């Protein structure tokens, strides 16, 4: 631990090594001058009973720290008493007389330092293993001290664990566990911004208290840095709302925040840590939504820098557990906050066994709480005695422990994983970890390229296979709901009962969730057939050297699907949502299914007539011609009505041989699929669509599922219907060279231009 001794420092300290300096890289070779450490002489509050010894290390102190402890104002109590230090794991770690002489230039300070060493009952100098707390926890040296920190952090982290691998590593987390003083806990699953401070995003936690209870609440909450597209990874604000809170009979609950999947955590001058409480009347008046910023002027502010006693008490009830952050030489957790404004104080114990921590806060409001790490800590902070001891975790001694949060025999069944089409699989963590999966019904990978987010749907069925863990000697049912509708029991197939004395895994498959979850009443649990607009699309691409283009519209159906495997005796259709959340929020699986079905027209970008034609090489009597061929393909997976308008938009029309009267024919041949289950096409009649003319803009072709008077009678046989998921027509331009010979007045390069326009009358939601 590196202490900036230019600032007064107060608290209870344990570290493997103590140095004085201005950064984490300080190693004792270049140190600051001595400063005050734990001068409590002016502190008017009550100090902890077990405060002595208050400065402990299993190794020898650096010279600057040694000098600081020898100062008259260091290790000084508010009743004139002197507190003590413990240095070293054994007698071998004590300073020799020569070492002390090299550190101190006079005997007064040398004597002051040696007199502040903590003594055993027999008068001998105590070492680490002689202190009851460390002895009880098996801490006898630096490595066992680090292991103790890790063990504590692991224990808290395991409170929100749901699944483990064969080696005991956590592979899944549940949202929260809590005792009966709390009804429910929610965490935002969408990005929420603070409009007051315009922070990038925030972590908002709503804790719904049980007003009928007077015991102290305890809750452990999982904060997943990767969940919901990583919205928490760069958050600059933590906002905790205690709902239905009665301060006259309830104490602030103890809150353990388990952060995982975070690369770093920085609390800067723009960062906020806010705890607010609202009565039941306030909650009824302004109903909170965890995915909407919630902060009311008449709240009970439990984190105000204008009320230090309240702020320190709140901080003493919070643990920020960063169990999975690991860091090298640089600190991956930084508290760099010098603001004194309300809300800008980091609150609670910071527990991070595997990474370095750097605290740069020269104001007394910057940090309130303990800092515990198994790596290195740099401390530059004006920590008052009030802060050091009042914000100490469980400073009021009311922590009821976490035994009520540990797994018990009433553990509900849970979904271990869900397998979706195209080898997509996920392990749901909890109700607020919201997943989204995209599948495409289109065949054109140029439009919807396969990627980590876009998957191909073979056929139209969205099969779900559930891997379920059943508790010992239990029976369960699968319940589902669509788009936050009513919970419905899945009746088509039952989950096999578990009659064993240990938990067992089983599988259940639903062939198509958008069809098989529909219910006979027809009132709810139907998939949402709303078409959502993903934007207009057009582009060019090559297929085997042929230049093609497409136009169309991104379209999709979007459905939020929720699943719970509940004990057989629980009827979710009669339970309130609050009752369901309390019992099953940690085992609920929620995901959004987006099925893309783009309306697409693929057409030839260039009609190639082949070799160059030389005028005058064919006689009028010969029926010579050049043919340019192409194909129009339409994908219509949602069976929409559509209209395709093709126009000749050639502007260079004078003396253009392609536009001479009857020189160029436009022909088409429709193909029909034998069935939707194979790729066999039957050709239809070959239809002449007419000739191109030198009359300016000309409609060449209209294809419409709802033909009107714009559809020429010549085009009837190639018209589509909305029931065609796939439409295919061969088209050709036939240039009669013999008809051009007598009329063309100059040689040169000539071309045709065409416009392609696709529309649909169906309602599409933006």
DSSP-assigned letter for residue 62: P
Domain for residue 505, yes or no?
yes
Whole-number percent of the chain with pLDDT over 70: 90
Same domain, 397 and 414: no
Domain for residue 93, yes or no?
yes
pLDDT tens profile 193-242: 988 876 678 999 999 999 888 999 999 999 998 888 888 888 889 999 99
Burial class of residue 345, CB neighbours in 10 A (0-12, 13-18, 19+): buried
Same domain, 364 and 283: yes
Domain for residue 764, yes or no?
no
Domain for residue 283, yes or no?
yes
pLDDT of residue 620: 46
For residues 387 and 407, the answer to whether their CB atoms sit within 8 Å is no
Q: Domain boundary at 359, 377, 404, which? A: 404
**219 or 177, higher pLDDT:** 219
For residues 476 and 470, the answer to whether their CB atoms sit within 8 Å is yes
Same domain, 537 and 470: yes
Spatial separation of the C-alpha atoms in residues 37 and 26, rounded to whole Å? 18
Same domain, 64 and 80: yes
Same domain, 273 and 252: yes
Same domain, 620 and 591: no
Domain for residue 200, yes or no?
yes
Domain for residue 146, yes or no?
no
Mean pLDDT of 142-168: 82
pLDDT of residue 693: 78
Return the closest-CA partner of residue 184 out of 577, 578, 487, 566. Answer: 578
pLDDT tens profile 548-587: 888 999 899 999 999 999 999 899 999 998 888 878 877 8
Same domain, 419 and 568: yes
Spatial separation of the C-alpha atoms in residues 353 and 101, rounded to whole Å? 36
Instruction: Report the number of distinct structural domains present in the chain.
Output: 4
What's the domain range around 120?
A: 2-140
Domain for residue 458, yes or no?
yes
Same domain, 168 and 188: yes
Q: Domain boundary at 538, 570, 598, which? A: 598
| pLDDT of 517 strictly over 70 | yes
Same domain, 320 and 393: yes
pLDDT of residue 640: 93
| pLDDT of 69 strictly over 90 | yes
**104 or 361, higher pLDDT:** 104
Q: Residue 522, CB half-sphere, CA atoms under 13 Å: how many?
A: 0
Is the pTM higher than 0.75? no
Coil/strand/helix, residue 220: strand
Q: Are strands 589-596 and 546-567 parallel, antiparallel or unpaired?
A: antiparallel
CATH code (residue 754): 2.60.120
Spatial separation of the C-alpha atoms in residues 100 and 85, rounded to whole Å? 16
Query: What DSSP string runs through 631-653?
Result: EEEEE-TT----EEEEEE--S--
Same domain, 113 and 196: no
pLDDT of residue 126: 93
Domain for residue 145, yes or no?
no
| pLDDT of 383 strictly over 80 | no
Q: Domain boundary at 380, 404, 428, which? A: 404
User: Using 50, 70 and 90 to split pLDDT, how confident is the model at 747?
Assistant: low
| pLDDT of 95 strictly over 50 | yes
Question: 58-72, 166-180, 476-490, 627-641: which has the minimum mean pLDDT?
Answer: 166-180
| pLDDT of 330 strictly over 80 | no
Same domain, 527 and 646: no
Same domain, 372 and 475: no
């Amino acid at each position: 631990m590196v202490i900036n001794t230019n600032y007064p420092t107060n608290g209870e300290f344990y570290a493997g090594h103590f140095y004085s300096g201005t950064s984490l890289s300080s190693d004792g070779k270049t140190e600051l001058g001595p400063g005050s450490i734990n001068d409590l002489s002016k502190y008017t509050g009550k100090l902890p009973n077990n405060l002595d010894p208050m400065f402990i290390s299993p190794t020898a102190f650096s010279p600057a720290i040694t000098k600081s402890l020898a100062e008259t104002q260091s290790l000084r109590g508010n009743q004139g008493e002197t507190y003590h230090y413990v240095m070293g794991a054994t007698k071998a770690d004590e300073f020799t007389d020569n070492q002390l002489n090299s550190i101190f230039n006079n005997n007064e300070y040398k004597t002051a330092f040696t007199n502040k060493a903590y003594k055993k009952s027999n008068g001998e100098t105590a070492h680490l293993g002689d202190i009851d707390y460390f002895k009880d926890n098996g801490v006898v040296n630096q490595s066992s001290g680090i292991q103790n920190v890790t063990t504590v952090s692991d224990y808290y982290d395991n409170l929100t664990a749901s699944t483990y691998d064969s080696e005991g590593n956590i592979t899944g987390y549940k949202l929260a566990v809590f005792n009966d003083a709390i009804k429910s806990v929610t965490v935002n699953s969408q990005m929420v911004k603070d409009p007051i401070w315009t922070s990038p995003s925030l972590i908002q936690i709503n804790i719904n208290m049980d007003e009928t209870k007077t015991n102290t609440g305890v809750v452990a909450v999982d904060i997943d840095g990767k969940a919901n597209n990583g919205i928490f990874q760069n958050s600059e604000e933590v906002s905790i709302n205690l709902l239905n809170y009665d301060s006259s009979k309830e104490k602030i609950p103890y809150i353990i925040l388990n952060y995982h999947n975070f690369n770093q955590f920085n609390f800067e001058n723009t960062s906020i840590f806010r705890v607010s409480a609202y009565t039941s009347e306030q909650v009824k008046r302004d109903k909170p939504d965890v995915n909407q910023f919630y902060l009311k002027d008449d709240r009970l502010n439990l984190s105000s820098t204008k009320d230090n006693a309240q702020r320190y008490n709140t901080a003493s009830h919070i643990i920020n557990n960063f169990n999975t952050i690991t860091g090298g030489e640089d600190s991956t957790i930084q508290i760099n906050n010098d603001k004194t404004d309300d809300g800008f104080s980091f609150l609670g114990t910071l527990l991070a066994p595997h990474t370095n921590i750097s605290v740069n806060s020269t104001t007394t409001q910057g940090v309130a709480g303990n800092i515990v790490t198994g790596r290195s800590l740099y401390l530059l902070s004006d920590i008052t005695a009030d802060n050091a001891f009042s914000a100490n975790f469980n400073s009021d001694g009311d922590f009821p422990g976490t035994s009520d949060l540990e797994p018990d025999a009433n553990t509900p069944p849970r979904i271990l994983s869900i397998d979706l089409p195209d080898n997509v699989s996920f392990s749901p963590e909890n109700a607020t970890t919201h997943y989204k999966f995209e599948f495409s019904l289109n065949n054109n990978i140029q439009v919807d390229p396969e990627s980590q987010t876009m998957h191909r749907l073979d056929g139209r069925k969205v099969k779900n296979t559930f891997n379920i863990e059943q508790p010992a000697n239990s029976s369960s049912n699968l319940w589902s709901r669509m788009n936050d509708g009513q919970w419905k029991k899945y009746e088509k197939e039952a989950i096999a009962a578990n009659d064993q004395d240990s938990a067992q895994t089983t599988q259940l498959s639903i062939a198509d969730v958008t069809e098989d979850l529909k219910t006979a009443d027809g009132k709810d649990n139907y998939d949402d057939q709303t078409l959502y607009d993903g934007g207009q699309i057009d582009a060019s691409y090559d297929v085997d050297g042929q230049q093609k283009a497409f136009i169309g519209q991104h379209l999709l159906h979007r459905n939020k699907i929720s699943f719970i495997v509940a004990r057989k005796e629980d009827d979710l259709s009669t339970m309130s949502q609050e009752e369901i959340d309390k019992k099953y929020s940690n085992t609920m699986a929620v995901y959004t299914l987006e099925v893309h079905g783009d309306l697409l027209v693929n057409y030839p970008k260039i009609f190639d007539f082949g070799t160059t034609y030389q005028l005058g090489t064919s006689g009028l009597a010969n029926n010579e011609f050049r043919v340019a061929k192409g194909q129009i393909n339409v994908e219509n997976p949602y069976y929409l009505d559509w209209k395709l308008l093709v126009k000749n938009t050639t502007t260079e029309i004078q003396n253009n041989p392609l536009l001479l009267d009857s020189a160029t024919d436009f022909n088409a041949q429709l193909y029909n699929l034998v069935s939707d289950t194979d790729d066999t096409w039957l050709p239809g009649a070959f239809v002449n669509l007419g000739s191109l003319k030198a009359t300016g803009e000309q409609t060449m072709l209209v294809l419409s599922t709802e033909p009107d008077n714009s559809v020429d009678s010549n085009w009837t046989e190639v018209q589509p219907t909305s029931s065609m998921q796939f439409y295919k027509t061969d088209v050709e331009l036939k240039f009669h060279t013999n008809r051009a010979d007598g009329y063309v007045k100059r040689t040169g390069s000539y071309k045709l231009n065409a416009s392609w326009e696709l529309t649909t009358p169906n309602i599409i939601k933006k």
